Amino acid sequence: MGLKVKLLELFCDIDDYVKALNKNTNNNFLLISQKSSRGFKPRMALSELMTILVLYHSSGFKNFKFFIII
């Protein structure tokens, strides 16, 4: 249970950071476009992607594929 709580806290902190950064910048450079070049909408929020990257870099894995599999 403790790991789930820490993961949720990390996500909330990153999400708050992204929202504050987008609010304080005029050009909203962190927002992902609503439509990609192929016409699909993105399914993951920027804060979700950043949480995965923070976890990967702090995990010690040398290969992203093995990090995702486990």
CB atoms within 10 A of CB 14: 19
Q: What is the DSSP letter of 33?
A: P
Q: Quick check: is 31 in a domain?
A: no
Instruction: pLDDT band for 10, please (50, 70, 90 cuts).
Output: very high
> What is the pLDDT at residue 30?
54
Q: What is the count of structural domains for the chain?
A: 1
pLDDT digits (tens, 9 = 90+) for 24-66: 776 555 555 555 667 777 688 889 999 999 999 999 899 999 9
User: Residue 63: which domain range?
Assistant: 1-19+43-70
Give me 17's structure tokens: 């950071």
pTM of the predicted protein model = 0.73
Q: Quick check: is 64 in a domain?
A: yes
Q: Quick check: is 1 in a domain?
A: yes
- Which one is predicted more confidently, 38 or 16? 16
Q: Quick check: is 25 in a domain?
A: no
Distance of CA 30 to the CA centre of its chain: 11
Q: Quick check: is 51 in a domain?
A: yes
Q: Quick check: is 8 in a domain?
A: yes
Instruction: pLDDT band for 15, please (50, 70, 90 cuts).
Output: very high
